[in-house]
Structure 1
Amino acid sequence: MKYEKPDFKLRTSYYQELWSLDDNVVFLNHGSYGACPKAVLRMQQSLRSQLEQDPVNFFGRQWEPLLDNARSKLAAFINADVQDLVFVPNATTGVNSVLRSLTFSPDDEILTTNHEYNACRNALNFIASRTGARVVVAKIPFPLESPEQIIAAVLEKVSAKTRLALLDHITSQTGVIFPMQQLVKELQARGVETLIDGAHAPGMISLNMQEIGATYYSGNCHKWLSAPKGAAFLYVQRDKQPEIHPLTISHGANSPRTDKSRFQLEFDWTGTDDPTGYMCVPEAIAFMSSLLPGGWLELMQRNHQLVLQARQLLCKELEVQPPCPEEMIGSMAVVPIPVSLENCSHVWLHDELFDQFGIQVQVVPWQESPGMLIRISAQIYNTLEQYQYLATALKNLYR
């Protein structure tokens, strides 16, 4: 028997009307793929229409100024020098571009953590299998009590052979914000370059590339920035740019132009694709900033406070403890699954929540106790009542 769903109209935020989200779904998983507002999608459609009206003119005359404008607006948003940025389809592509460009030997170690995103860990394994380099994993405990535990666990695994550290800025599995500025500083002091997977960071927390100081940083614009899918960036320190190349080598590799760096010439054009996602990044930044009087800072704080309230509500209802301090999460948080549901698969639980209750939420398998985590996201279109409904659904499943 299906649980009787409440009246969704009573629980839908006004802001949800600005998105194309299904009114019959309680969407608590903005973190996985983001969700693009209607206004930004309209701009993308307009750009696509321009492209198809005369593709030769668009790519020959309009494409580069539009791309440069988007790069300039993004650079200002994340406090980076515009010369240090290129667009890539997603953060995983950015990470792969760096790893595939660098040269490793059997004497090298590449450091990561047990919280690393699976796709990027696979990229590390691929590089290690090709080069003989060794992947070293720093085991960060979870639940966590403080950021210092992360720093200590990472630094403990640094050796004289450590060449590069690949770290999540905000972990996908556990929603934890790593103390990135401190980590980068400590690793640099030990002669270790840093490649940061910042997939969730842009738009969730304030970003300052110059303060973070990472050697390489890749972040998505389609998640919390709410740009169209297929929009992300790769930041590379100026002195390292000659070493880094896109996964697809194209015309930029031997372009005679001298008005741009080889780094940007190569990444900007890797063959014919749809560049309109990149070109909509300024619209996404402006649109999301317009939603609240305090702009982006107020939006980030509002989402942070909502996810804290939601986590507290769920932990109380499910009789579990919060797995990390409040200051270590942004707009995503995880809640341990009650013991009575630990023997269920994460796929089963996700599908039951969606099929029976109309709830779209991430269920994360975890390698240690607790064996599964519910990861909730908080975007401006979410309401506290939606998380209460999630708690009710979970309690119905494990009765």
Structure 2
Amino acid sequence: MDSRLSVRGLWSLDSAVTFLNHGSFGACPKQVLEFQQKLRSQLEHEPLRFFGREWEPLLDDARIKLAAFVGADVQDLVFVPNATTGVNSVLRSLTFSPEDEILTTNHEYNACRNALDFIASRTGARVVVAKIPFPIDSPQQVIAAVIERVSPKTRLALLDHVTSQTGLIFPIQELVRELQQRGVDTLVDGAHAPGMISLDLREIGATYYTGNCHKWLCAPKGTAFLYVRRDKQLEIRPLTISHGTNSPRTDKSRFQLEFDWTGTDDPTAYMSVPEAIAFMGSLLPGGWTELRQQNHQLVLQGRRLLCEALEVQPPCPEEMIGSMAVVPLPAILENRDFMSIHDELFDKFGIQVQVMPWQEKPRLLVRISAQIYNTLEQYEYLARVLKGLCC
């Protein structure tokens, strides 16, 4: 590629918008969308043949390619529409009692925290929250805060791999190991991890792991996976029970038979995952490794620019950042509603970036993302605009 501008042309993104929020919903490249459209045309050309003969081989091929990408055995993966569905599938499948505790952190994604509260209200189980400090100095503080809240009643820990609000990479492999030693199963919400950081689910060793493919992997919307450790698969059921429950087939596990078919939908997003993996991996000579490193370095540069312009300190060490970074907004903006700042940045300056409230000081955070189509000049522009808002 000759320049970042030529790379940006590979996406359908609005050229009038400074798009610094890849982390929220991702952005799918034109080539991948064209591939998906060919599959949709194939489906609609002869729907009975597609679902009767072509659907399963295409889905299995996509699962094979995805399993290799995330470091998992293919037998341990199923597709789900999004990571929130993956979290809900596990939580709704497990049995809890009033004597049980479910551990999470104060950085947990709101939708998944809502799922925890729903389960607790139905079962009487108690949700226990480990308070991870923010700003934070070290990954060890995450481990210490989580382990401190483990008790003999702890049944399950729901933990982010990359937090949405604060953009932190949690030391998930160490957390899983420490919790396993205490007899606690782990459900990892890896919504942002695939494509942002290198994954090896076998090494991580979580009991359950779910991740989105539409964010940093850049697959079409409605594409995620759920990994379940082999010895736990009989317990985990999809949210929709369908034909797989009483299928006479023995060539696949009940786990995959149930999740693979939950009723008629559009499976082409799942089937486009191999195209997304191949396309994104072809953009730089060093493939995915270089892409992840480049995005990481770019977001660090962007964070540095914002911190200098706003005269604030970086809230976490560089080792805890992937392709998203959070910067505290100055105290002078604390009385502003976070959505009013977001809307002003977008409506007045054409900047699409995430602005979020936080539970304590600093009260407001701005979260930037870095994907290959972003440029350093975009972060410089954001820095100038935010500095102007503080005057």
Q: TM-score, normalised by structure 1?
A: 0.97
Deviation at 1:131, TM superposition (A): 0.2
1:107 maps to a residue whose letter is E
Q: Distance in 2 between the 1:14 and 1:349 partners?
A: 31
How does 1:20-59 map onto structure 2 within 5 Å? 20-59=12-51
* Aligned match of 2:68: 76
Encode CA deviations 1:5-24: one digit per residue, 9 max, x unaligned.
xxxxxx96221000000000
SS at match of 1:313: helix
In the alignment of these two chains, the number of paired residues is 389
Q: Distance in 2 between the 1:253 and 1:334 partners?
A: 44
Q: TM-score, normalised by structure 2?
A: 0.99
Q: Distance in 1 between the 2:343 and 2:283 partners?
A: 33
| 1:379 aligned residue (361, 371, 382) | 371
| 2:178 aligned residue (156, 163, 186) | 186
Deviation at 1:398, TM superposition (A): 2.0
Is 1:95 aligned to 2:97, yes or no?
no
How does 1:386-397 map onto structure 2 within 5 Å? 386-397=378-389
How does 1:255-294 map onto structure 2 within 5 Å? 255-294=247-286
Q: Distance in 2 between the 1:348 and 1:12 partners?
A: 30
Q: Distance in 1 between the 2:136 and 2:47 partners?
A: 52
Give the CA RMSD over aligned residues: 0.7
* Aligned match of 2:195: 203
| 1:141 aligned residue (122, 133, 141) | 133
| 1:319 aligned residue (311, 315, 332) | 311
Q: Distance in 1 between the 2:300 and 2:5 partners?
A: 18
Deviation at 1:260, TM superposition (A): 0.2
* Aligned match of 1:85: 77
Deviation at 1:257, TM superposition (A): 0.4
Percent of aligned pairs sharing the same letter: 79
SS at match of 1:18: coil
* Aligned match of 1:250: 242
Q: Distance in 2 between the 1:62 and 1:30 partners?
A: 33
Is 1:347 aligned to 2:363, yes or no?
no
2:89 maps to a residue whose letter is S
1:231 maps to a residue whose letter is T
Deviation at 1:212, TM superposition (A): 0.2
How does 1:303-314 map onto structure 2 within 5 Å? 303-314=295-306
Is 1:151 aligned to 2:140, yes or no?
no
Q: Distance in 2 between the 1:294 and 1:12 partners?
A: 16
Q: Distance in 1 between the 2:204 and 2:174 partners?
A: 8
Is 1:176 aligned to 2:183, yes or no?
no
Q: Which aligned segments of 4 or more residues in structure 1 are displaced greater than 4 angstroms?
A: none
2:248 maps to a residue whose letter is P
Verify the 8 A CA contact 2:98 2:123 in the aligned structure 1: yes
Q: Distance in 1 between the 2:181 and 2:200 partners?
A: 20
Unpaired stretches in structure 1, ≥5 consecutive residues: 1-10
Encode CA deviations 1:136-179: one digit per residue, 9 max, x unaligned.
00000000000000000000000000000000000000000000
* Aligned match of 1:127: 119
Is 1:222 aligned to 2:214, yes or no?
yes
1:298 maps to a residue whose letter is E
1:191 maps to a residue whose letter is G
Q: Distance in 2 between the 1:64 and 1:354 partners?
A: 43
